[in-house]
Structure 1
Amino acid sequence: MTDVATARMIEIRSPEDGTLVWELPMASEKDVSDAYAAARSAFPGWARTPAAERGAALRAAAAALRDRADELARLNHEETGRDVAEAREGVLAGASTLVQYAELGPLHRGRSLLGAHEAIDMMVPEPRGVVVALTPWNDPVAVSCGLIGAALVTGNVVIHKPSERCPRTGLALGEALRMPEGVLQTLSGDGEVGARLVVSSDADVIAHVGSTATGHAIAEVAARTGAKTLLENGGNDPLLIDSDVDPEWAAEQAALGAFANCGQICTSVERIYVHQDIARPFITALTRFAVDAKLPPLVDRRHRDHVHGHVMEALARGAERIVGGEIPSGGGAHYPATVLTGCEPGMAVLAEETFGPVAPVRVVPDFEQGLAEAASGPYGLAATVLTNSLEHAQRAWRELPVGTVKVNAVFGGAPGGAAQPRGASGTGYGYGPELLDEMTTTKVLHMAIAGGRR
């Protein structure tokens, strides 16, 4: 265990007013080593546990998570500023994901192959081993439960490092899930602790949800260690608005996509391309929604500086601030809903991930140019198109080079749906039955009768 007297500490300050909430010790190098030893020791027994029993353990974990939903929501709010009701919804979503994998796990199977009559040919899924899960702060319980649930139900063991911006939430999650010794372990720490976990040759899978820079660094290390990587990195999700939609409704969708959870959602709307024919009423309505928005604070002042830096760079290069874009007085990490117009390609608010309550609007002369610009850039997480044209919807989902395309809804999706980011946004499936395939490796079995045909 970490020696608190000598450990490096994580300091959490309230996003509401900047006061110190608590300090927690970070995992030491020995803690990381011990966690790997415990995981390796627990893996053979957990891998041999019947899939139905592993599923039952996830159902029990989901029930415990629901029992502690209020506590986890409060911790999430205190650490990241997220609205308590929304944080509780995230906890319950995490519990539902665990139940989903409890059901899917025992059904996960390989294939039989047609070969010689006197032989058996099969493709059998097997757990990969030790999964390192590095999870984010913006939806810490729901995201973690997806990776942890899929890993555990397929027979892997997990070392989980939650973001240093929500360590208490991560520790409480680990306590609530209560798996056998060594099967699920939670370590607190910053990027240095994460790096220690990643560079170890004992990691069989590294699953990371977070920044693109960190994802690239993980991929480079994994290329040397041989670890399987699952990476959901940054996004720069476009919203493309056609000329034939109601501008009031389009503005409502844009506001939801850009301002929900203060713009701190992986698939938040990051850039808006609106047809010139409805641009004026759309911007008027979007401005009204922004003025009326009641936002939680950003996660911390460091992140606020990043968001505000993007806004100031755009203004310096000729964008117009319609509303917001100014740091309020007082403590904490508050930032207002912001609408910018006159945005041009190359501005950071269009070219990079802002991850804040900023709606940069670019007016385009036609659907073709909007689609072309929406399809530009290195990221490939998600995109949305609002249109009444079946042809335009078809073109958009075909031509946008992203893992998920949403038509006429900025958020949503069926339970059990998967996502597969592209480009700078990562690699590998997240969620859904497909994540079970990512967490397993395939062994091909050919078994014939000794001595040939009888």
Structure 2
Amino acid sequence: MNELIDRVPKQIFLAGKWQDSADGSRFGVQDPSNEEQLCEVADAQDADARAAIEAAVAAQDEWGATALRERGEILRRAWQLMTDRADELARLMTLEMGKNLEESKAEVTYAAEFFRWFSEEAVRIEGRYARNPAGAGRMLVSKHPVGPCLLITPWNFPLAMGTRKLGPAIAAGCTMIVKPAQLTPLSMLNLAALLQEAGLPDGVLGVLPSTSASRVVSPVLADPRIRKMSFTGSTEVGRKLVEQCAPNLQRMSMELGGNAPFLVFDDASLDDAVTGAVTAKMRNNGESCVAANRFHVHSSIADEFVRRLTEKMSAVHADPLINAGQRDKVRELVDDALERGAHATTGGKPLAGKGFYYAPTVLTDVPPDARILHEEVFGPVAPVTTFDSEDQALALAGDTEFGLVAYVFTRNLDRALRVGERLRTGMVGLNTGLVSNAAAPFGGVKQSGFGREGGDEGIDEYLDVKYLALALKE
């Protein structure tokens, strides 16, 4: 693995060049499975952020005028390179993030698909030409790149959350500055090198790994020439970023926290529900904003659901959490539930030894005031409560400030559609524990943010609409 780490760039990427940070400082990247340091990377400073702004601004006009087909071909080549190097990209992700190799390979496939999807969307940036309904004259509507963008990516999906932002930005003709998560910068640095190989022109992309997000982000957002910010992360941080964007009225896409309810009705297939529960809960070891956080099960089938879920969760091989802080947060939420009267049918404690491991856990008899029902656990824990009616299920599901995703298991089509429409979430998984799809709009409502990534809607986040009123003599 040392050979793989050695091949990954570890410097700042600016104007098509790899370079040290302004003061030469570096920081370590840790393997969460054994707590050992993998390597050190450049620690970007505010001077590096200002240099990245100038590079992005300087490249914007020429890049924005690039032929749509050319942008699409760059993305298509990047997709092919990611596909060809999937094993290497997956191993790197496993090393720095801790997810098992099978999940890392799945993320590489998912991440690459955003490049393929937006390579096709690039040539479909369309406007319209129409008659003025009032009479003489015509209306010409066109779409143009919004301009230089700041993209802030999280640690839990270090490739997919990058390509989900980079893909539409490249397709739309925007230059980009990326601030990757401090805990997992290697995948993004490697991706920058891959995009350079795919033909992305110098200056279109800058990557600033840093131990201080504010040191890098603040000067970028303070510059009115930066016209768009996309962030994936916590609601708490998202609120602060919205405030920073307000003075310059920068456009924002905010994919924030979640507290996903998982509803199992009495007519559901228990086999499908339990399989879906494990998928929705254990993807990325529960460290996912779309992970099922609360399991609300009809009282008539709750005991059997818990028995089967416990059996499945007990057999899951534990992956490490990202760091000690995250493991301790999971332990804190589980301990709070247990102290309030909940019971663990499996797990319920950290695992001994090196690495940041917590046992896959199922909790029953969870009281309504337990913190784990109201806070995002971001770990391998499934708290189960019961309901007796559809209205009660919806009330439990809606008892949160978040609204990213919900899961519903029922064999009644009317109920599926009725409940799906009543849930206040941006996405709903009907009889499936997996909703992520490059061809679908990803995003939430309420405190889970606004804007959409992926699908036909994703590229619109990076385009401004211009209307020309044409006087035409009849």
When normalised by structure 2's length, the TM-score is 0.91
Q: Is the 8 A contact 2:89 2:108 kept in 1?
A: yes
| 1:121 CA drift (Å) | 1.2
Match of 2:62 in 1: 45
Determine helix, strand or coil for the equivalent of 2:386: strand
| 1:362 CA drift (Å) | 0.6
Q: Is the 8 A contact 2:21 2:48 kept in 1?
A: no
2:467 to 444, 447, 450: 444
After TM superposition, list the pairs within 5 Å mapping 1:347-386 onto structure 2.
347-386=370-409
Per-residue CA distance 1:10-54 (angstroms, 9 max, x = gap): 322211111122222211111100111011000000111111111
Match of 2:91 in 1: 74
Per-residue CA distance 1:261-290 (angstroms, 9 max, x = gap): 211222111000001100111111111111
1:265 to 288, 295, 313: 288
Give me the whole-angstrom Cα distance separating, in 2, the residues matched to 1:414 and 1:202.
32
RMSD: 1.8
Match of 1:89 in 2: 106
Q: Is the 8 A contact 1:65 1:177 kept in 2?
A: no
The letter of the residue matching 1:98 is: F
Determine helix, strand or coil for the equivalent of 1:221: helix
Determine helix, strand or coil for the equivalent of 2:141: strand
Determine helix, strand or coil for the equivalent of 1:290: helix
Match of 1:26 in 2: 43
Q: Is the 8 A contact 2:405 2:427 kept in 1?
A: yes
| 1:94 CA drift (Å) | 2.0
| 1:250 CA drift (Å) | 2.0
1:102 to 87, 95, 119: 119
Per-residue CA distance 1:165-213 (angstroms, 9 max, x = gap): 1111110011101111110111111323234433333321100011111
Per-residue CA distance 1:83-141 (angstroms, 9 max, x = gap): 12321222222222112111111111122232177633111111110111101122221
Q: Does structure 1 residue 208 correspond to structure 2 residue 231?
A: yes
The letter of the residue matching 1:42 is: A
Q: Does structure 1 residue 184 correspond to structure 2 residue 184?
A: no
Indicate the percent of aligned positions where both proteins have the same amino acid. Answer: 32
Q: Which deviates more from structure 2 when the two are superposed, residues 321-330 or residues 226-235? A: 321-330
2:144 to 126, 131, 147: 126
| Unaligned 5+ runs, structure 2 | 1-11, 13-18
Match of 1:296 in 2: 319
Aligned CA distance change for structure 1 residues 306 and 202 (closer, same or farther; 3 Å): farther
| 1:441 CA drift (Å) | 0.8
2:169 to 147, 151, 154: 151
| 1:227 CA drift (Å) | 0.7
Q: Does structure 1 residue 401 correspond to structure 2 residue 428?
A: no
Determine helix, strand or coil for the equivalent of 1:137: coil
| 1:295 CA drift (Å) | 2.5
Determine helix, strand or coil for the equivalent of 1:433: helix
Give me the whole-angstrom Cα distance separating, in 1, the residues matched to 2:275 and 2:111.
27
Aligned CA distance change for structure 1 residues 145 and 250 (closer, same or farther; 3 Å): same
| Unaligned 5+ runs, structure 1 | none
Determine helix, strand or coil for the equivalent of 2:300: helix
Count of aligned positions: 451
The letter of the residue matching 2:183 is: R
Q: Is the 8 A contact 2:131 2:137 kept in 1?
A: no
Q: Does structure 1 residue 277 correspond to structure 2 residue 263?
A: no
Give me the whole-angstrom Cα distance separating, in 2, the residues matched to 1:349 and 1:413.
24
Q: Which deviates more from structure 2 when the two are superposed, residues 37-46 or residues 348-357? A: 348-357
The letter of the residue matching 1:184 is: L
| 1:394 CA drift (Å) | 2.4
Give me the whole-angstrom Cα distance separating, in 2, the residues matched to 1:81 and 1:390.
39
Per-residue CA distance 1:378-418 (angstroms, 9 max, x = gap): 10100011112223212211211000111111114665111
The letter of the residue matching 1:223 is: A
Q: Is the 8 A contact 2:294 2:373 kept in 1?
A: yes
Q: Is the 8 A contact 1:261 1:295 kept in 2?
A: no
When normalised by structure 1's length, the TM-score is 0.95
Match of 1:344 in 2: 367
| 1:422 CA drift (Å) | 0.4
| 1:217 CA drift (Å) | 0.8
Determine helix, strand or coil for the equivalent of 1:217: helix
